[in-house]
Amino acid sequence: MKILSAFGVLIVIILMALYEWPKMDKNQVKEKWAFALLALTGWVLSVLLIYFPDMPGPTQLIEFIYKPLGKFLEH
């Protein structure tokens, strides 16, 4: 069932690209690269969340980094 969810997300990304790509000019190479990179990053993150729903988010990473600093500054 998870593979169908990942495939569904891929279909949505492809539909987004098919809608947006023709609207970009031929000279907008950097914009096309940025769109492709952001779409790929979003797809990878969504597939990771489909397969590993309990994966820690960015808030937990920031807390892990700054919690020792906060304890150090309390004393």
- For residues 28-46, give the mean pLDDT: 94
What is the dihedral angle through the alpha carbons of 67, 61, 52, 9, rounded to the nearest 10 degrees?
150
Say how far apart CA 11 and CA 19 lie, in whole Å: 12
pLDDT given for residue 35 in this prediction: 94
pLDDT given for residue 1 in this prediction: 85
What Cα–Cα distance (Å) separates residue 13 from each residue in 8, 29, 46? Answer: 9, 19, 11
pLDDT given for residue 71 in this prediction: 82
With cut-offs at 50, 70 and 90, classify the pLDDT of residue 73. Answer: confident
Say how far apart CA 21 and CA 34 lie, in whole Å: 12
pTM: 0.72
Say if residue 4's pLDDT is above 80.
yes
